[in-house]
Amino acid sequence: MEYLMGWAALSFVAAIAASSRGRSPVIWFNVSLLLSPVVGLIAVLVMKNLDKEPSNTTQERCLYCREWVLRGAVKCKHCGSALPTEMPHSQQHHPYR
């Protein structure tokens, strides 16, 4: 019985780790229950953190090098190109083009 309680507790830890990385805690709790809490935790920690993705409200892509820069920046910090004060309308809504 203690073994099952420990298994569920470690699965809950994997779910908390998944939630902090922008993943679904319910799905990762179930994955950890079915496979192994250790495997689930390792898989969550290896995956890319979705919470650290740049948002379209604070950043936009440089027109020249396609790197993320702060919205309203005058110059790209990556390539040094001068940025227009207003991004073209097509660039504002499709940042992954």
64-90: per-residue pLDDT in tens? 888 888 888 889 988 988 888 765 555
For residue 88, give every residue at least 6 positions away whose Cβ sits within 8 Å of its Cβ, in sequence order, or none. Answer: 63
Residues 82 and 74: their CA atoms lie apart, in Å, by 6
46 and 6 housed in the same domain: yes
Average pLDDT over residues 33-57: 82
62 and 41 housed in the same domain: no
**E strand or H helix at 17, and its extent?**
helix 2-20
pLDDT of residue 26: 93
Are residues 44 and 17 in contact, defined by beta-carbon separation less than 8 angstroms? yes
68 and 41 housed in the same domain: no
65 and 92 housed in the same domain: yes
29 and 46 housed in the same domain: yes
11 and 30 housed in the same domain: yes
For residue 71, give every residue at least 6 positions away whose Cβ sits within 8 Å of its Cβ, in sequence order, or none. Answer: 57, 58, 59, 60
31 and 69 housed in the same domain: no
Total tally of structural domains belonging to the chain: 2
Whether residue 9 is predicted with pLDDT greater than 80 in this model: the reply is: yes
Whether residue 38 is predicted with pLDDT greater than 60 in this model: the reply is: yes
63 and 92 housed in the same domain: yes
State the residue for tokens 């409200």. 57
Domain extent for 39: 2-52
pTM (predicted TM-score):
0.54
